[in-house]
Amino acid sequence: MRTFCSHITITQTDTTVTINGWVDRHRDHGGILFVDCRDHTGIVQLVFPPEQPDLLQQANELRSEFVIQASGVVKQRSPDTINPALQTGDIEIQVTDLTILNRSNPLPFSHHEPIREHTKLQYRYLHLRRSDMQQKLRFRAKLTSLIRLELSNQGFVDIETPVLTRSTPEGARDYLVPSRTQPGHFFALPQSPQIFKQLLMVSGFDRYYQIVKCFRDEDLRADRQPEFTQLDVEMSFVSEADIQDMTERLINRLFQELLDVTLPKQFPRLTYAEAMNQYGCDKPDLRNPLTLVDIGHLVKDESFEVFAKPAKLDGHRVVALKVPSGGSMSRKQIDDYTKLVGKYGAKGLAYIKVTNLDMGIDGLKSPIIKFFNPQTILNICQLVQAQDHDLVFFGAGSNSMVNQSMSALRDQLGLDLSLIDQQAWKILWVTDFPMFDKQTDGQLTPMHHPFTAPKQVDFDQDKQPENWLSRAYDLVLNGSEIAGGSIRIHDRSMQMNIFDTLGFEEEAAINEFQHLLDALSYGAPPHGGIAFGIDRLVMLMTQSDSIRDVIAFPKTQSAACLLTRAPATVPNEQLEELAIQSHSNTPENQE
RNA sequence: GGGGUGGUAGUUCAGAUUGGUUAGAAUACCGGCCUGUCACGUCGGUGGUCGCGGGUUCGAGCCCCGUCCACCCCGCCA
């Protein structure tokens, strides 16, 4: 009967146990030999005493990562040899039988040292042997089990949707799969099962869920992989509140049972407009106390055009960002922050250092004060409630530039000044997103996706679709978007109307989305849903720095797998069978 | 497509400010010694295409150009 290493306790003293595992470390004292045996539960110390020379000689062959089975008697350790750092530190196993199940070459890296990312990924199966990686993937499994338990208890039906499906024109770049049976035709891997789950609502599966891989061929980030896992949920006969309710119950249970963390029963809500106004960002990290404060109304009549001009222009804003105790910031630090906002197009970074408010304008230091009426500066200080030794940064320009640069600045300040409580969990809903984004060429694109229902729009009256709001909502945890969804359009003519607003030709829209449009005309119920980024959620819950750490076999930033060396070239016959010709003339392709 | 950081022993790193003898450390590995360690100790040893290619120079790990890989970011990601 197998026992797990760290499950052996002092109550088993003098009983015989058998363990399987890997040699973690071995300590050879000549006459006596200690071996730390490791399995996924932990470590237990094996002792090979000098009284059994044959066994000792056999044990002398043991090296790190050899796979062994050992039987022996559990012994209580004498008080002076107890190791309090080890869960099993009060006992050890006096070995009577040892089997070397497999030998191991020395590992390319030690389990007890940091490893470069490249090496980790190349020998991923060895890296996953580490206890921190074991814990993360086991945590992930617990999380998905709990999700299935909770959702099936709530009457949700788990339904699989196709992986080989149709490419749609909107959204991210598709991964394509050539069809052999229909040369020149291609499947796409799903960016999400969006349309399928809506079709399932039409079918009458009024509560659907699926834990499903999604694929997007876009550039990677620390929190973005080309294939990632969503918890996809859709419900019929619901409004926003029902989806949010279900989400709050689920997330609360996950945090309570997996982390023993109690989140608010209802999550705070911010509208998109409020979030952008206060944080410059639609996924603010609320652990960071800094906020943006509009000061346009105070500076619009000043002669300082850098502020006055955007203060008067539509689509522009002027904001202040107060940094408590920031007055001690060095010239170099401020230069670095200026570079940071420069990445987003800011021409500079104006600031005021507050040294002594009692002295009025003379108690302030700033390169820009001289351009202002002194009372305006004092009004700004009052508005942001600046105190002695504070620093106030300013951003002025187009909404998008100010929001992007100042929210990046806010994040960086949060890190640099340790304003963020790393133990805290701050979750919120962001609601009332605009329906559309207006691109530089004036073209509208859906902010969420083109099936999102608008919020109370009178199509005949309101001819400014860029101002329309949608029934979309995002769930934001510690500054990361961990879920997003919407109430969908269930009316065919409304859907056609939105396609039209997006500039789709009627014929093209009918062609691309025929299956959805048809379905909407056969008694589609009102419905809506949400999709959770499982990788991101697990990343946050396990305090990991990268999504790669919670994915067993992740890709590199250039979307390659260092373990399998995918993607790779294929023989020409394989291409011919698929009616594919490669334009790439790299030497590897010639082989 | 763009900006940044890194690549030196199996591994993790130093050496790069000032170009100069045989490129170091720790750890791992191999061998010896050691009966209570738990990052065991100790003595000795093996181990290098300094990512790759080119250039400057009497001489390049170090300077210059190009390139590849990994990571972080911008663009991109409905």
Q: What angle do CA A476, A480, A486 make, to 5 degrees?
A: 45
Q: Let me know if A363 is exposed, middle or buried by CB neighbors in 10 A (0-12, 13-18, 19+).
A: middle
* Phi then psi dihedrals of residue A412, to 5 deg: -65, -40
Report the C-alpha gap between A408 and A280 in whole angstroms: 9
pLDDT band at residue A563 under the 50/70/90 scheme: very high
Report the C-alpha gap between A4 and A18 in whole angstroms: 9
Strand B atom within 7 Å of A90 CB: no
Strand B atom within 7 Å of A42 CB: no
Please give the average per-residue pLDDT across A94-107, as a whole number. 95
In chain A, the percentage of residues whose pLDDT exceeds 70 is: 98
- Write a three-state SS string for A531-566: EEEHHHHHHHHCCCCCHHHHCCCCCCCCCCECCCCE
Can you give the pLDDT at residue A590? 39
**Nearest nucleotide relative to A472: CA against C1':** B78
Please give the average per-residue pLDDT across A69-88, as a whole number. 95
Can you give the pLDDT at residue A440? 74
Strand B atom within 7 Å of A104 CB: no
**For strand B, which residues in window 387-406 of chain A come within 7 Å by CB?**
404
**To the nearest whole number, what is the mean pLDDT of chain A?**
93
Strand B atom within 7 Å of A561 CB: no
Distance A587 CA to B55 C1' (A): 26
Closest residue to B3 (CA, C1′):
A343
Can you give the pLDDT at residue A442? 76
**Nearest nucleotide relative to A194: CA against C1':** B78
Nearest in space to A366 (alpha carbons), one of A396, A390, A345: A390
Q: Where are the beta strands (DSSP E) in A371-419?
A: 391-398
Q: What is the interface pTM, i.e. ipTM, of the complex?
A: 0.92
- Which residues, other chains included, contact A129 with Cβ-Cβ below 8 Å and sequence gap of 6+? A22, A111
Lowest-pLDDT range, A248-262, A293-307, A409-423, A571-585? A571-585
Strand B nucleotides within 7 Å of a protein CB: 1, 6, 10-13, 27-30, 33-41, 69-78
Strand B atom within 7 Å of A223 CB: yes
State yes or no: pLDDT of A591 exceeds 50: no
* Phi then psi dihedrals of residue A538, to 5 deg: -65, -40
- Mind listing the pLDDT tens digit for each residue in A346-396? 888 999 999 999 998 999 999 999 999 999 999 999 999 999 999 999 999
Strand B atom within 7 Å of A24 CB: no
pLDDT band at residue A589 under the 50/70/90 scheme: very low
Strand B atom within 7 Å of A548 CB: yes
- Mind listing the pLDDT tens digit for each residue in A149-163? 999 999 999 999 999
A216 to A73, A192, A447, A472, A481: CA distances (angstroms): 55, 9, 17, 21, 17
Report the C-alpha gap between A526 and A182 in whole angstroms: 37
Q: Per the structure block, which two tokens stand in for A245?
A: 């309710």
**Nearest nucleotide relative to A191: CA against C1':** B78
Strand B atom within 7 Å of A562 CB: yes
State yes or no: pLDDT of A588 exceeds 50: no
Strand B atom within 7 Å of A294 CB: no
Percentages helix, strand, coil for chain A, rounded to the nearest 5? 35, 25, 40
* Phi then psi dihedrals of residue A38, to 5 deg: -120, 135
**Nearest nucleotide relative to A446: CA against C1':** B78
Report the C-alpha gap between A63 and A536 in whole angstroms: 38
Can you give the pLDDT at residue A586? 43
Can you give the pLDDT at residue A112? 86
Nearest in space to A237 (alpha carbons), one of A532, A524, A530: A524
- Which residues, other chains included, contact A419 with Cβ-Cβ below 8 Å and sequence gap of 6+? A287, A288, A289, A290, A413
Q: Per the structure block, which two tokens stand in for A450?
A: 């083109």
State yes or no: pLDDT of A169 exceeds 90: no
- The 10 Å Cβ neighbour count of residue A101 is 11
- Mind listing the pLDDT tens digit for each residue in A456-486? 877 777 778 888 999 999 999 999 999 999 9
Strand B atom within 7 Å of A197 CB: no
Q: Please say whether the beta carbons of A524 and A201 come within 8 A.
A: yes
Strand B atom within 7 Å of A191 CB: yes
Distance A207 CA to B7 C1' (A): 51
- Mind listing the pLDDT tens digit for each residue in A193-207? 999 999 999 999 999
Distance A102 CA to B72 C1' (A): 40
Nearest in space to A541 (alpha carbons), one of A349, A258, A305, A339: A258
Strand B atom within 7 Å of A588 CB: no
Nearest in space to A360 (alpha carbons), one of A342, A373, A341: A373
**Nearest nucleotide relative to A447: CA against C1':** B78
State yes or no: pLDDT of A400 exceeds 90: yes
Stated pTM of the model: 0.94
* Phi then psi dihedrals of residue A249, to 5 deg: -65, -45
How many residues are present in chain A?
591
**Nearest nucleotide relative to A451: CA against C1':** B78
Closest residue to B33 (CA, C1′):
A30
Report the C-alpha gap between A364 and A459 in whole angstroms: 52
**Nearest nucleotide relative to A78: CA against C1':** B36
Long-range pairs of A145-152 with CB within 8 A, sequence gap ≥ 24:
A146/A253, A146/A254, A146/A257, A146/A258, A147/A209, A147/A211, A147/A231, A147/A250, A147/A254, A148/A211, A150/A249, A150/A250, A150/A253, A151/A207, A151/A209, A151/A233, A151/A250
Strand B atom within 7 Å of A221 CB: yes
pLDDT band at residue A20 under the 50/70/90 scheme: very high
Strand B atom within 7 Å of A368 CB: no
Strand B atom within 7 Å of A114 CB: yes
pLDDT band at residue A64 under the 50/70/90 scheme: very high
**For strand B, which residues in window 436-455 of chain A come within 7 Å by CB?**
437, 445-450
The 8-class DSSP code of residue A69 comes to: E
Please give the average per-residue pLDDT across A227-242, as a whole number. 98
State yes or no: pLDDT of A525 exceeds 90: yes
Distance A34 CA to B43 C1' (A): 22
Lowest-pLDDT range, A33-47, A129-143, A175-189, A320-334? A320-334
State yes or no: pLDDT of A587 exceeds 70: no
Nearest in space to A63 (alpha carbons), one of A10, A106, A31, A124: A106
Strand B atom within 7 Å of A556 CB: yes
Nearest in space to A177 (alpha carbons), one of A163, A191, A198, A160: A163
Nearest in space to A243 (alpha carbons), one of A559, A505, A475: A475
